Structure 1
Amino acid sequence: MSKIIVIGGGPSGMMAALQASKNNHQVTLIERNGELGRKLKFTGGGRCNITNNRDIEDFFEKIVNNRKFLYSSLYSFTNRDLLDYFSNNNLEYKVEIDNDYKVYTKNDKSIEVIEALNKDLIQNKVKVLYNKKVVDIIVEECENYNLPTVKGVVLENGDKLFCDKVIVSTGGMSYSHTGSDGSMYKILNKYNHTINKIYPALTPLTIKESWVKNLQGISIKQVEISCKIKNKKISKVGDILFAHFGITGPVVLIMSSYINKVLENQDIALKIDFLPQITEEEISKAIRENPNKNVLNNIKSLLPQNFLKEIFNILSLSDKKANELSKSDELKIIKYIKSMELTCNGTKGINTSMVTSGGVSVKEINSSNLESKLIKNLFLTGEVIDVDAETGGYNLQIAFSTGYLAGISV
C-alpha cells in the first residue's frame, strides 16, 4: 500500500483518487474549495455533458491539440466504460441523438454526477481535505532513481504532507472563479516542466464590424463557418448566436479552439454560410417563388426576419415585390446569405473560455501512465496538460480517462 495525494477535486482528480483507492492505496484528495466538482457544476449549462456517445475512435478527430498523446488514456477508459461506471453507481443518463450524440444526466442536473462520485469516494475511504490550497510540491534527489522524486506537498498554511506519489489534477485557467487559476503551472515550471503558452479555447469571438451589434440576440441553427490559416481551410458547422461584441454559440466556440493562437498576431477573415444545406439556385427560386409578394415574405421560412432585414440594411436595399427586384440585388442578397464575411479580431479571453489550451508539455509526460518524465512518482491529468477538444462532452471524457489511467498507474 502506497500513500497517494491527489491535488484537485474536479472530475479528473476524483476519478484518479477513486481508482488509486480501489487499487488498495491510501488516498488523500486535496481540494481548495469547500466542495468537490465546482467547475463540473457549470458544464453543459448546468446539465453536465458527461461524455459523447460516438464510437471512441471518433473522439480523436474532435481533439484539437495532441490527440496521439491521449490514445492510451481514452482506450484505457472509454466513454462506454464511463457510462457503465455511472450506471453501476445508480446515475441515469440520456443520449441526445439530435444534439451531436451528447450524453447528459437524465434529470439534466450536474449535481447528480458530483453526488455519485462523492458517494463512491466515501465508500472507498478516500480522505478529502477541503479548503486547502497546495502551494508547492516536495521534490528530493533519490539514490534509487536517476530522476528527482516527489515526496509530498506543501499547503498554504505551511503544513507539509508526505506521501509516496502525487497526482496533479488542478485544471487549467478557465473559469478561474472555480479555483482553476493556473497557480500549479508556476509550481511545475519551477521544477523544470515546460508550460506551453496558455490560450482560451471554446470561447466567444469578437468581431471588428460594428454593425454586428445590430444582430444581437439573433440565433441561427446549423450555419457553416470557415476560414483559411496557412492555406489550410478550417470549416465547422453548428448553431451561432450574435452578441453585442461579436458571435458565440457552439460552432463559434469550436472554431475559437482552432484559431486562438493565430489571433494573437493577426485578424482572421471568417466566412459564414447561413444556409449550407441549400444551394444558391434554391435561394433564388425561393426569392422569386411568389412574384407579387415581397422578397422578405418569400424567404421568411429560410432565416429569421430580423436577420434578413438587417442584411437588407447593410446592402442598402429596401424590401419590395419579387418581380421588382433586380438580378444584381438578388445576387447581393444571396451572396450575403451564403458567404457573409466577418473580421475576427480576438476572443473574449480565458475567463469566458470553457477550457484551457496549453499547459504542461506532453513531451514531458509518459502517455502510457501519465507519469512525469522529469520527476519520479509525479502524475498529471486533465486540463493541466496541453490537451483540449471540441465541445460535445469530449473534454470531460478526457478528464475522466486521464484521471482513471493515472489512478490505476500509481
Structure 2
Amino acid sequence: MKSFDVIVVGAGTSGMMAAIAAAKAGSNTLLIEKNKRVGKKLLLTGGGRCNVTNNRPADEIIAHIPGNGKFLYSAFSQFNNYDIMEFFESNGTHLKEEDHGRMFPVTDRSKTIVETLFNQLEQLGVTIYTEAKVEKILHKDDQVIGVALEHDKIYAPCVILTTGGRTYPSTGSTGDGYKLAKRLGHTISPLYATESPIISNDDFIKEKTLQGLSLQDVSLSVLNSQGKIIVEHQMDLLFTHFGLSGPAALRCSSFINQELVKNGQNPVTLQLDIFPQKTALELKNEIQRKLLDQPEKTLKNSLKNLVPERLLEFILNKTTLSEHQSKQVSDQQIDQLIDQLKSFKLTAEKTLPIEKSFVTGGGISLKEVQPKTMESKLVNGLFFAGELLDVNGYTGGYNVTAAFVTGHVAGTHAASVAEYTYLPPLDQD
C-alpha cells in the first residue's frame, strides 16, 4: 500500500509551492502532475519571462486582485510577496524590478523560476509522479484518505488540489479540479474569462478602421445599464481586428463578463477618455488655441499632433467636421469634438473565451474554504490553492503571487494536520 502524509494534485505555480512548504514542514509529500513535466503553464507567464510577483505593499497587491482579494488577508499575514522574493533570492535566483512593481528573474526566462522550484522539490525529497491523472479523491465519512489514479490508489490524510483554472487548456488546465471538488460536495462559482481581450461588433471595428492603433495612458470605463461607471482603468489600449486589447482592456474584461450576466448578455457600453489627465475645459482651451493659430487650415491640419492621425480622421468624420476650416468651427462643434475625445462610446459584445484568456474568474466557493488554512470546511484534510479558488487578479504578477501564497499556506497547514490525523481503516472509500 502506497501512503504519504500529503498529496498535492497539480504541479503548477501553487502546487509546486504547496509541495515545497509541506515537505519543509516535515511531511512525506507526493506531487502528482498529468503532464510530462512540471510547471508547464508557469513557463508561459509574463510572455515567457515569468512575472513572478510584485514589489508592492500587501494592501496594494490585494487591491489589484478585484476577484475576492480580501479573502487573502489571512494568507498574506503568513506568507507574502516579499517572502516569495526571499524564497527565490535565497535559492540563487535573482530578481529585478520593472514598471508597476513587476518582478522578473534577471535571466528573463521562465525556465529559471520553474527550475528553482523543481530543484527545491528534489532537495526536499518530494516524490513526483508525472503523466498521472487523479480520477477521484478518496474519502471516508468526512475525512480525505487519498486519491485514485487510473490503475492505482495512493493514501494520505491530506490532499491539496492545485489543478488550475480553465485558461491555457493545452497546459493541462482543463477544469479537472472543479469536477473533483464538486463530487465532494463543493460549490463552484460560475466560471468566466478575466484578463481577456474584448470583442466588439461596432461598425468601425468590423471595418478595421483603427486596427493596430495603440494609445498610451488612456482611460477605459465599463458602464452599467444606467450609464454609471462600474470600473475605470487608465493604461495603454490597443485596437484590434476584433475589438480591444492591451492592459486597459484586459483589466476591464472581468467586469464586462459580470455585467453581461446581469443584463441578459446584452452588449455592454464602454467609454474611452483619450485625455484623462486633462479636464474638458483644459482640452477645449488647447484646441481653441490651435485653431486660432491656423485659422485658414482644415481641422485635420490644425489638430495634426493632438492624437494619432487615423484616430483624428475617424473622430472628425464621425462629427462631420473633416472638411471644416478652423475659422468655421463653432463653439458647439468644438464641444462635440471634445465629447468624442473625452467620452468616446463603444460596445463590448463579449470577451474572448476562458480558454483564450489569461485568468479564470469564479471557482471553488470561498464560503466553503478556511481563509487561514485553505482547508475545506466540508471535508477534513482537503485543501485548495491557486486559480482553482474563486480569486482572480489583474496581470502584473498578482495572480502568480496569489498562487504562491495560497500554495504555501495550504502546504504548511496540510503538513500540520497530517501530523496528528489518524486514517480510518482503509477497507472502503
Residue equivalent to 1:132: 132
Higher strand share: 1
Residue equivalent to 1:214: 209
Provide, for residues 198-226 of structure 1, a one-character-per-residue CA deviation record: whole Å limited to 9, x for no partner: 11111111113121231111110111112
Q: RMSD of the TM alignment (CA)?
A: 1.8
Q: Is the Cα–Cα contact under 8 Å of residues 52 and 400 in structure 2 kept in the other structure?
A: yes
Q: Is the Cα–Cα contact under 8 Å of residues 64 and 257 in structure 1 kept in the other structure?
A: no
Aligned: 1:202 with 2:195: yes
Q: Is the Cα–Cα contact under 8 Å of residues 260 and 350 in structure 2 kept in the other structure?
A: yes
Aligned counterpart in structure 1 of residue 365 of structure 2, from 347, 358, 361 = 361
- TM-score, with structure 2 as normaliser: 0.89
- TM-score, with structure 1 as normaliser: 0.93
> How far apart, CA to CA, are the structure 2 residues paired with 1:78 and 1:121?
20
Aligned with 1:254: secondary structure? helix
- 1:275 deviates by 1.0
Aligned with 2:377: secondary structure? coil
Q: Is the Cα–Cα contact under 8 Å of residues 64 and 258 in structure 1 kept in the other structure?
A: no
Aligned: 1:163 with 2:156: yes
Residue equivalent to 2:83: 81
Provide, for residues 29-79 of structure 1, a one-character-per-residue CA deviation record: whole Å limited to 9, x for no partner: 111111211111121222211111111121222222222321111221111
- 1:282 deviates by 3.4
Residue equivalent to 1:251: 248
Identity of aligned residues (%): 38
295-304 or 253-262, larger mean C-alpha shift: 295-304
Instruction: Name the amino acid aligned to 1:154.
Output: A
Superposition map of 1:64-103 within 5 A = 64-96=66-98, 99-103=99-103
Residue equivalent to 1:9: 11
Q: Is the Cα–Cα contact under 8 Å of residues 299 and 322 in structure 2 kept in the other structure?
A: no
Q: Is the Cα–Cα contact under 8 Å of residues 254 and 390 in structure 1 kept in the other structure?
A: yes
Superposition map of 1:11-410 within 5 A = 11-96=13-98, 99-141=99-141, 148-155=142-149, 157-212=150-205, 213-229=208-224, 233-264=230-261, 265=264, 266-287=266-287, 288-289=289-290, 290-292=293-295, 293-319=297-323, 321-410=325-414
Q: Is the Cα–Cα contact under 8 Å of residues 137 and 150 in structure 1 kept in the other structure?
A: yes
User: Structure 2 regions of 5+ residues with no counterpart?
Assistant: 415-429
> How far apart, CA to CA, are the structure 2 residues paired with 1:244 and 1:116?
40
Q: Is the Cα–Cα contact under 8 Å of residues 222 and 230 in structure 2 kept in the other structure?
A: yes
Q: Is the Cα–Cα contact under 8 Å of residues 286 and 299 in structure 1 kept in the other structure?
A: no
43-52 or 275-284, larger mean C-alpha shift: 275-284
> How far apart, CA to CA, are the structure 2 residues paired with 1:90 and 1:299?
54
> How far apart, CA to CA, are the structure 2 residues paired with 1:329 and 1:110?
52
- 1:319 deviates by 5.0
Instruction: Name the amino acid aligned to 1:315.
Output: T
- 1:193 deviates by 0.6
Instruction: Name the amino acid aligned to 2:319.
Output: L
- 1:240 deviates by 0.8
> How far apart, CA to CA, are the structure 1 residues paired with 2:130 and 2:300?
59
Instruction: Name the amino acid aligned to 1:207.
Output: S
Residue equivalent to 1:144: none
Q: Is the Cα–Cα contact under 8 Å of residues 9 and 159 in structure 2 kept in the other structure?
A: yes
Q: Is the Cα–Cα contact under 8 Å of residues 69 and 367 in structure 1 kept in the other structure?
A: yes
Residue equivalent to 2:424: none
Q: Is the Cα–Cα contact under 8 Å of residues 196 and 360 in structure 1 kept in the other structure?
A: yes
> How far apart, CA to CA, are the structure 2 residues paired with 1:302 and 1:409?
57
User: Structure 1 regions of 5+ residues with no counterpart?
Assistant: 142-147
> How far apart, CA to CA, are the structure 1 residues paired with 2:76 and 2:320?
53
Instruction: Name the amino acid aligned to 2:407.
Output: G
Taking a change above 3 Å as real, the CA distance of residues 390 and 10 of structure 1, as seen in their structure-2 partners, is same
Taking a change above 3 Å as real, the CA distance of residues 328 and 169 of structure 1, as seen in their structure-2 partners, is same
Instruction: Name the amino acid aligned to 1:274.
Output: I
Taking a change above 3 Å as real, the CA distance of residues 333 and 83 of structure 1, as seen in their structure-2 partners, is same
> How far apart, CA to CA, are the structure 1 residues paired with 2:320 and 2:171?
47
